[in-house]
Structure 1
Amino acid sequence: MNSIFERRSVNFFDPSKDIDDELLKNIIDLASTAPSAFNLQPWDIIAVKTPEAKEKLLELTGGQSKVQEAPVTLIVIGNRAGYDVNNPVWKQLEAAMGKEKTAGARTMAENLYGSTEERKIKFAESNAGLLSMSIMYAARHYGVDSHPMSGIDFEGIKKEFDLGEEKDVVMLISLGYFDGTKELYPRAPRRAYEDLVVTV
């Protein structure tokens, strides 16, 4: 519960503090327990860590300094074709459920998510969005701060990092440690149940 309330979108990262590969792996492994449609997990991540890659990404984010200051920025990618037969999850489901049930589930997924371009986009973005929030909570669990970014050049990043036709950038998430010499604004009020929910 503390991870939820302690998470903040941190604008200022301490560039002297690193995130090693083992810690990043722990964060992603925990985050990947996020739910997804048919457990298809139609997502990928590029971890931008090198100075060269950060420089490329910086230009495509309008010069947001957190890209350079944070030890790693994740490019969260949604796969619009993640429901199709090439997804290895179907083989796992087949081993668990049998060929007939899996074939039925695959047909249902294709009808639900692949029948129009809009549905493909919704499929990719909604599932990758679930992973993204899970990453930020998992990071906080391990004492790591984060900041999501969507004010970016989506197509430019897709091209620069060679994502391929069916994969789209959903958001960026910088991970690192808050620069204690800076100050965060107080947490802004959130809409409460009474403002959010209409019961029908």
Structure 2
Amino acid sequence: MISTATTSGKDFFAVINERKSVRKYDPNVSISKEELRDIIEIAGKAPSAWNLQHWHFVVIHGKAAQQRLYPIAYHQQQILDASAVIAVLGDLEANQNTDAVYDPLVQQGQMSKETKEQIARQIEMAYTDKQYVRDAAYLNAALAAMQLMLAATAKGWATCSIGGFDVNQFKQAFHISDRYIPIMLITIGKSIAPAHRTTRLPVEAITTWVEQ
């Protein structure tokens, strides 16, 4: 099996234009834990509401683990052939991260204790709204997912986001706490066939200008 790691960066706009949804991977290429950690670290720099980082990543890495996922993802071949599959979860209890995020800032003198307590109250108030909690988990985890795919592309890997899988079976098979909601799967590997060609709507079709 070939092990590949890529560390060189690419121009940002090149990365944007190169990222495609690849579904056919070389099953003989492996990816190291270190490479995956690097990609996840970059994904974790995505923005989030109150910087609560409403995401968790489950890395399905290895043929045995990927075989377990295969039927849950409706027998998509890319699950088996990819070098790894990363499940992106949204955190329904990201408010529990408040102290971990803000206490270091207080200790370093970058934020007053009073300001931190004010922010904490705002967060707890927001988290009394169940709809907000769910929306925030989806929205913020999706930001990290997009950043993960761009980071992988920059390091020479192909990816594909997958929404087609049985969420309940996934949670049961991989022992996912009710704190987390599965958002998507992302396959990562080396492409052996071009991605499907896609058409993008023009700016005029997707933009409304408000000038007054």
TM-score (norm 1): 0.92
Q: CA deviation at 1:30?
A: 1.9
CA-based RMSD of the aligned residues comes to 1.5
Q: CA deviation at 1:87?
A: 5.4
Which residue of the other structure, out of 177, 183, 201, is the alignment partner of 1:191? Answer: 201
8 Å Cα contact 2:95/2:124 also seen in 1? yes
- Equivalenced residue count is 196
For the structure 1 residues 134 and 85, does the alpha-carbon distance in structure 2 shift closer, same or farther, using more than 3 Å as the test?
closer
Which residue of the other structure, out of 136, 150, 157, is the alignment partner of 1:137? Answer: 150
Which residue of the other structure, out of 125, 130, 150, is the alignment partner of 1:111? Answer: 125
8 Å Cα contact 2:98/2:120 also seen in 1? no
Which residue of the other structure, out of 65, 68, 75, is the alignment partner of 1:56? Answer: 68
Q: CA deviation at 1:65?
A: 0.9
CA offsets 1:81-113 (integer angstroms, 9 cap, x no match): 10236652132343331221111111112223x
Distance in 1 separating the partners of 2:132 and 2:189:
34
5+ residue gaps, structure 2: 1-12
User: Do residues 14 (structure 1) and 42 (structure 2) align?
Assistant: no
Q: CA deviation at 1:183?
A: 4.1
For the structure 1 residues 144 and 97, does the alpha-carbon distance in structure 2 shift closer, same or farther, using more than 3 Å as the test?
same
Distance in 2 separating the partners of 1:132 and 1:63:
22
Q: CA deviation at 1:184?
A: 3.1
User: Do residues 97 (structure 1) and 111 (structure 2) align?
Assistant: yes
Distance in 2 separating the partners of 1:80 and 1:178:
34
8 Å Cα contact 1:41/1:82 also seen in 2? yes
Q: CA deviation at 1:134?
A: 0.2
For the structure 1 residues 31 and 93, does the alpha-carbon distance in structure 2 shift closer, same or farther, using more than 3 Å as the test?
same
8 Å Cα contact 1:84/1:106 also seen in 2? no
Distance in 2 separating the partners of 1:41 and 1:165:
17
Larger deviation, residues 151-160 vs 59-68: 151-160
For the structure 1 residues 81 and 177, does the alpha-carbon distance in structure 2 shift closer, same or farther, using more than 3 Å as the test?
same
Distance in 1 separating the partners of 2:35 and 2:46:
18
Matched residues, percent identical?
A: 27
Aligned residue for 2:161, secondary structure, equals strand
Letter in 2 for 1:69: D
Equivalent residue runs for 1:162-181 within 5 Å: 162-179=175-192
Specify the alignment match of 1:23 in structure 2.
35
User: Do residues 44 (structure 1) and 56 (structure 2) align?
Assistant: yes
5+ residue gaps, structure 1: none
Aligned residue for 2:29, secondary structure, equals coil
TM-score (norm 2): 0.87
Larger deviation, residues 136-145 vs 51-60: 51-60
Distance in 2 separating the partners of 1:85 and 1:50:
30
Letter in 2 for 1:169: P
